[in-house]
Structure 1
Amino acid sequence: MSLPADPGTMGRVLPMTMPRLHGSLVVLRAFESGDQDLVTSVVSDALIPLITTVPPDGDAEDVAAYIARQRGRLQEGAGYSFAIADATSGKGVGQIGLWTREAHLGRATMGYWVAPQFRRRGYARDALATVTTWASSFTVLHRLQLFVEPWNTGSWRAAEACGFEREGLLRGWELVGDRYKDMYVYSRLTSA
């Protein structure tokens, strides 16, 4: 995923350790065992288990496996899976990922979710802004992109507030449950 670090490559190589990132409202950190309540709280959400690997039930073993998967994403080469935590309490409120499998092509994909009980408080926007600023510091990444269902106004408004531009509608782009759904594609160039 990355080249050996040397002074000539600083800023071009993505780190192989999980950083801890601080925004205004959030701290982005690796998932912890204490995040089990957060994950359990979203298993009954109408969408999150369909578009993520959150288990569709609250089984403690499945929830623990989800947390373990998030902790292993970087080592497996998928990218960075951050727990979104409230900056004051430290309590987990959601997840945001910077998926870097296409970093060699100069691009990364972002995705995020916030538990229903924590929505409309600015957490998604602050988490997205924080990851975007951090990711833009790596010259290996030229393009950041994300995909949002057209009805998900809160999500695409957060993207637009962070400087992402809607490029178009991708028809039948994402398998959600048992149906292919349309998605807006948003991007932001790191030089912007």
Structure 2
Amino acid sequence: MKKEFPVIETKRLILREATKADAGDMYEYLSDVDVVKPMGLEPCQAVNEVYDEIEWYQSIYKGGRGIRWLITLKDNGKAIGTCGFLNMAQKHFRAEVGYELSQAHWGKGFAGEALEAVVMYGYQHFRLERVEALIEPANIPSQKLVEKQGFKREGLLRHYEYTCGKFDDLLMYSLLKNDLDIHSGP
């Protein structure tokens, strides 16, 4: 039996499961080098590469390793990005959060709105104690986004990932449940 994929609604957004029907909208931003470079990905060259991304979202959810919501605009249903958890370590009550947003929607508060909703969902439904964000040092907008949400910078992880033919340094940020004064512990 397939477990029901949760839907999150915010003031302007609906976060839901991505399907192959969303591939066209997703291709618009996943083919944009400025969107995918900070994710350590090469831009998609064809829609079938988006299908692979959607299948990866489904596999991490089925495997209990994470969950990735498609960010859609409430007024017209257009997919503009994703946000969710990966590398979930339920035994340790922690997960890493990740996100990307179509460049056409940068600077409008959508990423923060989605991130806040996803993090709160994680604390309430996955009983997380710690949410981590790993961000490239050059990605100042993403650092500002998580800092605005209350994340604290913990340090630099040198050569932490190997992506697109190079080693990447990543900044580690974290947000603890008690940073937000949420009391529903394990």
Q: TM-score, normalised by structure 2?
A: 0.84
Q: Cα 1:156–1:181, aligned 2, differ >3 Å: closer, same or farther?
A: same
How many pairs does the alignment contain? Answer: 176
**1:56 aligned to 2:6?**
no
Q: Cα 1:57–1:49, aligned 2, differ >3 Å: closer, same or farther?
A: farther
Pairing partner for 1:80 from 56, 60, 67: 67
Structure 1 gaps, min length 5: 1-15
CA distance in 1, matches of 2:96, 2:114: 14
**Counterpart of 1:107 in structure 2: which amino acid?**
R
More displaced 10-residue stretch of structure 1: 45-54 or 126-135: 45-54
**Counterpart of 1:121 in structure 2: which amino acid?**
K
CA distance in 2, matches of 1:72, 1:144: 21
What do you get for the CA RMSD once the two structures are aligned?
2.2
Pairing partner for 2:89 from 102, 115, 119: 102
Q: TM-score, normalised by structure 1?
A: 0.81
For residue 96 of structure 1, report the CA deviation from its aligned partner. 1.0
**Counterpart of 2:145 in structure 1: which amino acid?**
A
Q: Cα 1:50–1:186, aligned 2, differ >3 Å: closer, same or farther?
A: closer
Structure 2 gaps, min length 5: 180-186
Q: Is the 8 A contact 2:154 2:172 kept in 1?
A: yes
Q: Percent of pairs identical after alignment?
A: 24
Residue aligning to 2:155: 168
Q: Cα 1:53–1:181, aligned 2, differ >3 Å: closer, same or farther?
A: closer
**1:45 aligned to 2:33?**
yes
**Counterpart of 2:140 in structure 1: which amino acid?**
T
Pairing partner for 1:35 from 22, 31, 44: 22
CA distance in 2, matches of 1:20, 1:53: 26
